Structures are given as C-alpha cells and as structure tokens.
Amino acid sequence: MFVDQPVGTGFSYADYGEFVDTTEDAAQDIVAFMVLFFENFPSFKNRALHMAGESYGGRYIPLFSAAIWDQNAQLVARGLTPVNLTSAMIGNGLTDPYTMTPSYYDMTCTPASVPPVLDINTCVRMKQALPLCEKWLKESCLDHLDHMACAAAEQFCETELMAPIESIDINPHDISKPCGSKELICYPIVQEITKYLDNPDTRSMLGVDPAASQNFQDCNLDVMFTFLRNGDRQRPSHEYVAALLERGVRVLVYVGDFDWVCNWIGNERWTLALEWSGHGEFRAEKLRDWEVDGEIAGKTRSAEGFTFATITGAGHMAPYDKPKQSLALIQRWMAGAAL
C-alpha cells in the first residue's frame, strides 16, 4: 500500500485547502487513514502491518508508527480491532540529524565508501567548522528549539558541510557517479516517471480522484518549505524508534553505502548511540556480511529486534540501484528471517 502524504503531495488533496506543517500533524492523518482502511476492508484486520519509508521517511516512519501504536488503546476502548503493527522499516533515512551531521565530512573527505572526493583545503575547512556546527545545532535546535536560530544554524552547517559537494560533478545520492542533471536530482528517469504518472490512462488505472487536479510532482516545494520553516527537519525522531523497540515492534534501518544525503556512516552512528534496553546487546554485535545468491550484499548487525544493514553498491534510491538485493532484504525481514 502506497500513501501520498502529507496532504498536497503526489495525488493527495484536501477538499477545503487544509494542510499540515509538521510530521506530528501528518501522523494524525495517517492514523485516521489506517483506522478507516481497516474498518472498510475488514478482511485485512489482524494482518501484520509493516510501516516503511525512505529518506525523509526516517522522520515520518518512527512518528507514524508510534501514533498507530498509541491509537490502538483507543481502538480497543471503542470495541474496535487494534492495528497489528509488526515492524518499521527506514531506508536511507533522516532520523537523527544532529548525530548524522558530522558524517558529511566522513563521506566526502575519508574513504568511508569511495576515495575522498573533495580537495584537502576544503576538507580542512569542513573539519574546522564541525565543532561550531554541532554546538549551534545542539543549542538552537535540540536544547531549545528557536526556529530562527535553528534555521541559521542549519544554514551555516549546510554552507560549510553540505555545499562543497554541490560544487563538483558528483551525484549526492550516489557518490560513485557524476550527477549529469541537477535539475532532475541527477536522475533523468525522474522526468519519465513523472510523465508516466501524469498520463490520463495511468491516473485512471490508479483510480486517482478527478478532484486531484494537480500534476504529479516528485517533490511538492510548498509542502517542503512549510515543514522546513517549522523546524521539522531538525527534530530528532530516534527516541520514537527506541520506544517502538521497547514495545516489541521490530525496526530495520537499511542504507545504500554510496548515498551521501542520508549516508550509512550517520545512520550507523545513531543506531549505535540509541538508548534502549537492548543498547548493550546491539552495540556488542560486530558488523557481518549478509549475502544474496552466495554474493556479499552488504553489512549488518542485529539484536533484540533492531537491525542495521548496508546495501553494497547502492545509493539513496537503494531499491532502484540494487533491486534484487533490496527485495531479498525486505522479504527476509517481513518473514522474520535473519539476513
């Protein structure tokens, strides 16, 4: 099941122009949708539900899953069937921005995935800017959320740590390749996908409501900037992951190892730092190879229902880059099998 959300993205729309501007608000829409879905299609009740999302889904999925879990108590009180939330899957996600921020230096100035792609002078400046970036983000975005100060901190960190990669012909979604077309996020196929989804026959096949008059966009900039203005991007979501794990909801974090945007170094850092009852067991696990058809597909560690996995040779759009390995990963996870 694919859901276009928040409202205003994809083919979703509101009758009277309603909108949401934070992930917390979007979570309430998802909860309402899930309740309506299961009540209108009762044959799906009690089936295992696996919540999944990629990229900004690292923010969405922990909060959406937590909201569904909390809603279950109210469903039971009303005599309705609770949602059988079984796991959450986060692909190349932005879950703990603060912990992940230093990884932009690692990915471009050390051989974390590929040889360093930036010149020495730039890397030295990035290294020097890191302490101030972390201090400013912590004070303005974490300890006390001041929207204007947090935005300024983000701007400084983006200028010093993220902008340098924009100055070279590298695909930030896959640093093993040149970009080619920044207008199409370095993937010309995006244009073909958009054209396909806008085709009247495709819209009819998907059952898109004629009231959704807007053209399909891979990203709704109005929605994006509204979320950014509210400081949504810098709000950490990892504590929701810990809370889900404590309640027996399994969590998978997978990352293509050539991605720079939401890279494996940053994702590994926050998973190792996550405070929960299985913290010790998870940290004690060493990274090991996982395989598909006898070939190494990536690295993984797992303990107490929490799994971190890389996908070798994949970028930000891991299933696009490595479809066989990504499919095997998800199938094994949903079946409850070890990688």
Mean pLDDT score, 71-91: 95
Residue 64 has pLDDT above 90, yes or no: yes
Model confidence, pTM: 0.95
Average pLDDT over residues 29-48: 94
Domain with residue 261: its CATH number is 3.40.50.1820
Residue 174 to residue 189: CA distance in whole angstroms: 15
Within-domain flag for 205: yes
- Taken as a whole, the chain contains a residue count of 339
Over 11-80, what HEC string results? CCCCCCCCCCCCHHHHHHHHHHHHHHHHHHCHHHCCCCEEEEEECCHHHHHHHHHHHHHHHHHHHHHCCC
Residue 3 inside a domain? The answer is no
Regarding whether 161 and 81 lie in a shared domain, the answer is no
Are 151 and 136 within one domain? yes
Same domain, 205 and 151: no
- pLDDT, tens digit, 9 for 90 and up, residues 274-321: 999 999 999 999 999 999 999 999 999 999 999 999 999 999 999 999
Q: Are 105 and 73 in contact (CB under 8 A)?
A: no
* Helices (H), ranges, 176-322: 189-198, 200-206, 221-229, 238-246, 264-273, 279-284, 318-321
Nearest to 331 by CA among 301, 303, 297: 297
Annotated active-site positions, please? 55, 259, 316
Here the tokens at position 7 are: 């409202």
Domain end call among 172, 192, 226: 172
Total domains, the chain: 2
Averaged pLDDT of the chain: 94
Percent of the chain with pLDDT over 70: 100
- Structure confidence at residue 122 (pLDDT): 97
Element (H, E) at 328: helix 323-335
**Across residues 234-243, what is the average pLDDT?**
94
Same domain, yes or no, for 91 and 227?
A: yes
**Residue 182: pLDDT above 80?**
no
Q: Which helix (H) or strand (E) holds 216?
A: none
Within a domain: 16:
no
Q: What is the SS3 assignment for 306?
A: strand
Whether residue 190 sits in one domain with residue 154: no
Are 267 and 316 found together in one domain? yes
C-alpha–C-alpha distance, residues 127 and 129, integer Å: 5
**Domain identity same for 146 and 193:** no
Least confident residue range of 161-175, 206-220, 229-243:
206-220
Residue 9 resides in a domain: no
Instruction: Give the model's confidence band at 146: pLDDT under 50 very low, under 70 low, under 90 confident, else very high.
Output: confident
Residue 11 covered by a domain = no
Residue 163's pLDDT is what? 95
CATH code of 117's domain: 1.10.287.410
Whether residues 277 and 324 share a domain: the answer is: yes
Domain that holds residue 189: 23-98+183-335
Looking at the fold, whether 72 and 205 belong to one and the same domain comes out as yes
Question: In the sheet that 49-54 helps form, which strands lie side by side, from edge to edge?
Answer: 49-54, 85-91, 250-256, 306-311, 295-303, 288-292
> Which of 172, 192, 218 marks a domain boundary?
172
The predicted structure's pLDDT at residue 278: 98
Per-residue pLDDT for 257 more than 90?
yes
**Per the domain annotation, does 6 fall within a domain?**
no
pLDDT at 255 over 90: yes
Residue 231 has pLDDT above 90, yes or no: no
**pLDDT above 80: residue 180:** no
Is 55 a domain residue? Answer: yes
Instruction: Indicate the burial class of 283 (C-beta count within 10 angstroms; 0-12, 13-18, 19 or more).
Output: middle
Q: What is the pLDDT of residue 232?
A: 87
In a domain, 195, yes or no: yes
Q: What pLDDT shows up at residue 216?
A: 84
Q: Are residues 81 and 107 in the same domain?
A: no
Give the least confident one: 96-100, 232-236, 315-319. Answer: 232-236
pLDDT greater than 80 at residue 184? no
Q: How many whole angstroms separate alpha carbon 161 and alpha carbon 133?
A: 9
